[in-house]
Structure 1
Amino acid sequence: MNRLFTSLIVAAMVLGVAVGWALNRYASPDQAKAVAENLSIVTDVFLRLIKMIIAPLVFSTLVAGIAHMEDAAAIGRTGAKTMGWFIGASIVSLTIGLIMVHLLQPGAGLSLTAPDAGKAAAAVDMSKFTLRAFVTHLVPASIIEAMANNEILQIVVFSIFVGTAVASVDDRAPAVLALIEQVAAIMLKVTGYVMRTAPLAIFAALASTVATQGLSILATYAKFVGGFYLSLAILWTLLVAVVVAVAGPRALKLMAAIRSPALLAFSTASSEAAYPRTLEELQKWGISRKVASFVLPLGYSFNLDGSMMYCTFATLFIAQVYGIHMSIAQQVTMLLLLMVTSKGMAGVPRASLVVIAATLAYFRMPEAGLILILAVDHLLDMGRSATNVVGNSVASAVVAKWENQIEAPIPAWGSGPPAPQNG
């Protein structure tokens, strides 16, 4: 299925570029514009489908994740250190993405016109943005209204209260928790259905863009993709350096051990697909079952380093493409927003697109910008999925070292006799 989907994505990209080039070269500007407008119907529908799933997806996954956090309280010190690492890693990932997109300027020079340029510029001006307005906006007057308007921060605040309350009940409200988990499972399935339409949206997006802008826009895509992978390389280097500094030179063997699950995540564009193999390799390397079975699954909800970097990189890329200037205060606010909204989205196909869509809506930036990155999102998803695996493996090793839970290499559960010592 993953190979088929990847093939469809590639085919949609090639066909979209070919059709767009043909229209740009052989059709009149008016004809090309008319075809592009008709193709935009497909992309508009896809955007509406994305917006449709934001509220129930965020609510159900976040509440379910928080409701299971009693393990953090039980493990105590380990839970606190784990969350401390996650927060620190999140800040570093988001900041690297922010710095690199400013240094590389992948979207500068394209200067696309927003669907409603005057309205967008006025909205992103943010002159009315104040601390009081931001804080009061966090708390929903009505959760129904918040969900209807896709007010992502308000939904997150409400979800935190509900998830904490469920976890605090003595029997953890099993019926309610089971219902929420079922809703989350259903929404994940719905998200999967929505993402199956991505090849059509990608074809329409590329065809309409190339038809009106010409092949020169592909150079911008190359700069965007190359810049993001360069940013990932910097993050990987930093993660490896930190784990070696904390756990010693033996950590290099861990990096070699997780090569297979990282490649699996890269090829399938899914870090979740690599979860079982990653857990197995962490235990073989010597991380105790207690730490590995706690940090790794928690990391899949709260420590998606690659995805978080992509959110800042892609959001500011879109701002650059449309010539929208964001002040330092606005960018700091965006980082804080992404710190929160990127949590609890594990297992969601193309979760970063959902988070970016919510961020664009919050800052009143053109939603059509999502279509620009959609064309190459699958290629970038491969890199950030592998990065998520590396980030969570490093987190497990660091926390295990802090807790003195690194043991002699042992086999994974039920995998037979102990593995031989290496070195």
Structure 2
Amino acid sequence: MLVVPSKLSYWIIISMLFGLLVGWLAPDFGKAIKPLAMVFLRMIKALVVPLLFSTLVGGVAGHGDDLAAVGRMFLKAIVYFEVVTTIALAIGLIAVNIVRPGDGVSRASQDTNKGNDIAKKAITWEHELYAIVPESFFAAAAENQVLQVVACSLVFAIGVMKVKGKKFKRPILDFCESLAQIMFKVTGIVMYFAPIGVAAAMAATVGESGIAVLAALGKLIGTLFGALAVFILLVFLPIALLVRIPLREFLLAVGKPVMVAFTTSSSEAALPLAMESLHAFGCSRKVVAFVLPTGYSFNLDGTTLYLALASVFCAQVVGMELSVERQIVMMITLMLTSKGVAGVARAALAVLSGTLTQFDIPMDGFALILGVDAVMNMARAGTNVLGNCLATVVIAKWEGQFRTTAWQEEQDTQKEHDEEAMAEK
């Protein structure tokens, strides 16, 4: 059971507001304390690999030899991811065409060469393959390549399943279970630093972007936030109701990881907390360990919506009108190129710049977006985490791995241990 400060949510909100004020009133100081945010992100990222490996190997190999169940779960997850991200792209295109945030935006002082380095990072099918299969597990672990770690862990888990004899399996499974429990306790310790990291991240973001820049591109930022809100209400909410997910309990369970992702502009920062929160909510560790990190590469709902919106915005800035047919082709291109790019630094910007180049759209709007990308990244990171948490619960319910008897027994045992520990104190 993950132990975090009981009022962490309140502290994160207070820290976010405090950081906003610091970045606004003292921007230089806000930028100077950015290392505190980076320290928090480093601590979180250090937890990801051992957590993924231990929970995925223990979850898959520790529950029988049913490889068909793993394949079925993977197929359901991929189909779900594809459908939802396609809807996200469509909503992004509709929003940017209705609001037209690029009309009348001044681009006189923008350096159109700003994005050249990012634009050189082409997203190709070779990269998509390399993002899945690593040269070395340790290299993937050192570079925090989530999808590659998942692939290696899954293959290792299948190998454990194939081994005959409990005397060979049991030590590995016991080690993974112990490692997972310890890492969740370490996550709880690290989360005590979350308010400081969140405040520093918010102060640095506002300090670097500046209120003037945010106001100038307020229509673009507002369009993105509004489109994401519509997407959540029209897609996430009906899915949750259709699958009969206890909505209030779900929001309480995922609230903390979503806030961490939003305030730090990093989905990875929320991964360890999201994994344990979803298990505590009722999902089996096997589903959580497999679906959640896989979604980090294939179910980027917030990012795909942003890409559709930002691409058309860049065309609007230079007065270029894109036909419906061309926008549909662009949507299909984005649907393919936005998958499996988690290993690329500033992946969303790399995909965006590549799309603009492919469709002969000038980089003027891209230079404008760079000024407020950190703010928009907060919204898409939070949406990505919320979408992946929802996808995990949906797959768990479809697989009959939600609030099972084994899960309830584990919760009861943990509750007894917690009560005993409190009595000893």
Query: When the two structures are superposed, what TM-score results if normalisation uses the length of structure 2?
Result: 0.60
Q: For residue 158 of structure 1, report the CA deviation from its aligned partner.
A: 2.6
2:415 aligns with 417
Seen in structure 2, the aligned counterparts of structure 1 residues 330 and 116 have a Cα distance that, compared at 3 Å, is farther
Aligned ranges 1:218-367 → 2 under 5 Å: 220-346=216-342, 350-367=346-363
In structure 1, stretches of 5+ residues that fail to align are: 16-67, 118-146, 167-173, 187-195, 208-214
User: The residue matched to 1:417 in structure 2 has which SS?
Assistant: helix
2:151 aligned with 1:156, yes or no? Answer: no
- Looking at structure 1, the residues matched to 365 and 25 of structure 2 have their Cα atoms a distance apart, in angstroms, of 19
Q: For residue 183 of structure 1, report the CA deviation from its aligned partner.
A: 9.0
- Looking at structure 2, the residues matched to 104 and 374 of structure 1 have their Cα atoms a distance apart, in angstroms, of 20
- Looking at structure 2, the residues matched to 242 and 261 of structure 1 have their Cα atoms a distance apart, in angstroms, of 22
Seen in structure 2, the aligned counterparts of structure 1 residues 301 and 366 have a Cα distance that, compared at 3 Å, is same
Give the RMSD, CA atoms, in angstroms.
Answer: 4.2
Aligned ranges 1:13-412 → 2 under 5 Å: 75-110=70-105, 112=107, 150=120, 152=122, 156-160=124-128, 176-178=135-137, 181=140, 220-346=216-342, 350-408=346-404
User: The residue matched to 1:389 in structure 2 has which SS?
Assistant: helix
Q: For residue 343 of structure 1, report the CA deviation from its aligned partner.
A: 1.7
Letter in 2 for 1:82: A
User: The residue matched to 2:105 in structure 1 has which SS?
Assistant: coil
Seen in structure 2, the aligned counterparts of structure 1 residues 253 and 349 have a Cα distance that, compared at 3 Å, is farther
Letter in 2 for 1:325: E
- Looking at structure 2, the residues matched to 92 and 263 of structure 1 have their Cα atoms a distance apart, in angstroms, of 24
User: The residue matched to 1:92 in structure 2 has which SS?
Assistant: helix
Letter in 2 for 1:158: E
Aligned residues: 302
User: The residue matched to 2:275 in structure 1 has which SS?
Assistant: helix
Q: For residue 11 of structure 1, report the CA deviation from its aligned partner.
A: 6.7
- 1:283–1:410 CA contact under 8 A, matched in 2: no
Q: For residue 351 of structure 1, report the CA deviation from its aligned partner.
A: 2.5
1:123 aligns with none
- Looking at structure 1, the residues matched to 248 and 366 of structure 2 have their Cα atoms a distance apart, in angstroms, of 38
Q: Deviations over 1:192-242 (max 9, x none)?
A: xxxx9xx89x97x989xxxxxxx7x86551111111111111111134323
- Looking at structure 1, the residues matched to 374 and 318 of structure 2 have their Cα atoms a distance apart, in angstroms, of 22
Letter in 2 for 1:99: I
Seen in structure 2, the aligned counterparts of structure 1 residues 163 and 318 have a Cα distance that, compared at 3 Å, is closer
Query: When the two structures are superposed, what TM-score results if normalisation uses the length of structure 1?
Result: 0.60
Q: For residue 384 of structure 1, report the CA deviation from its aligned partner.
A: 1.0
User: The residue matched to 1:380 in structure 2 has which SS?
Assistant: helix
- Looking at structure 2, the residues matched to 116 and 263 of structure 1 have their Cα atoms a distance apart, in angstroms, of 33
1:55 aligns with none
- Looking at structure 2, the residues matched to 252 and 97 of structure 1 have their Cα atoms a distance apart, in angstroms, of 27
- 1:299–1:392 CA contact under 8 A, matched in 2: yes
Seen in structure 2, the aligned counterparts of structure 1 residues 107 and 368 have a Cα distance that, compared at 3 Å, is closer
- Looking at structure 1, the residues matched to 296 and 277 of structure 2 have their Cα atoms a distance apart, in angstroms, of 16
* Aligned-pair identity (%): 35
Q: For residue 329 of structure 1, report the CA deviation from its aligned partner.
A: 2.4
- 1:263–1:386 CA contact under 8 A, matched in 2: yes
- Looking at structure 2, the residues matched to 114 and 334 of structure 1 have their Cα atoms a distance apart, in angstroms, of 28
Q: Deviations over 1:290-323 (max 9, x none)?
A: 1111100100111111111111111111111111
